[in-house]
């Protein structure tokens, strides 16, 4: 039996607890979780849900370019950059091999010049197949002039399709669906 005991590895939980104590001793602020050794493997749907929740956490270390990082890279390649970043921050190696090569469009838009009253069909446009996100924010009565800068573009869309041209066609369909009512 002595040989069998010598072949046992230290529990991952014990290793983690030792590391927490060591870091606390160095004055590092540590989030400590009380854990025990599992009696069974965690079901895949639970671990997937946990990874998804972690990916949605706002982190100070997250890069900019929200739509590019959060939507477009995954739409064109199948790689979830938020999940990859969490894995990197946890010291893991992310899988960054593209799963496919699709097209995506990130397009800004604004109503025509005049006094904005409303936009019709916004919900319908957002439900067009291939629209990942559609946003528009303008108050009735806003005077719309020629676009002079970023703040003059109150609308945007992120679309995806099998290739770039098909994605552009989706964004064109969105613009054709929207009806700007102006004075």
- Could you identify the residue written with the tokens 């982190």? 59
Rg (CA), the chain: 25
Domain spans of the chain?
1-37, 40-101, 103-182
What's the pTM? 0.61
pLDDT digits (tens, 9 = 90+) for 39-73: 667 778 777 777 776 666 555 455 556 677 778 88
CATH fold of 103-182 reads D-amino Acid Aminotransferase; Chain A, domain 1 (3.30.470)
**Over 60: is that where the pLDDT of 113 sits?**
yes
If pLDDT is split at 50, 70 and 90, which confidence band does 2 have? low
CA distances from 119 to 111, 139, 141, 146, 183 (A): 8, 10, 12, 18, 12
Q: What is the mean pLDDT of residues 91-120?
A: 91
Question: Rounded to an integer, what distance in angstroms lies between the CA atom of residue 123 and that of residue 41?
Answer: 43
Calculate the average pLDDT of the chain: 82
Question: Rounded to an integer, what distance in angstroms lies between the CA atom of residue 174 and that of residue 152?
Answer: 19
């Amino acid at each position: 039996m002595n040989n069998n005991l010598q072949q046992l590895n230290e529990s991952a939980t014990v290793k983690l607890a030792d590391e927490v104590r060591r870091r606390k001793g160095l004055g590092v602020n540590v989030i400590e979780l009380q854990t025990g050794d599992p009696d069974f493997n965690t079901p895949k749907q639970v671990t997937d849900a946990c990874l998804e929740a972690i990916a949605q956490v706002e982190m100070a270390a997250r890069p900019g370019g929200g739509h590019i990082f959060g939507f477009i890279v995954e739409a064109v390649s199948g790689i979830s950059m938020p999940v990859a970043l969490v894995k990197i921050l946890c010291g893991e190696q992310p899988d960054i091999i593209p799963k496919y090569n699709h097209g995506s469009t990130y397009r800004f838009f604004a109503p025509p010049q005049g006094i904005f009253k409303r936009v019709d069909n916004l919900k319908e446009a957002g439900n067009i197949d291939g629209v990942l996100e559609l946003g528009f924010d303008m108050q009735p009565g806003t005077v719309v002039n020629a676009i002079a800068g970023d703040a003059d573009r109150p609308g945007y869309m992120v679309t995806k399709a099998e290739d770039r041209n098909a994605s552009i066609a989706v964004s064109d369909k969105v613009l054709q669906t929207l009806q700007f009512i102006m004075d």
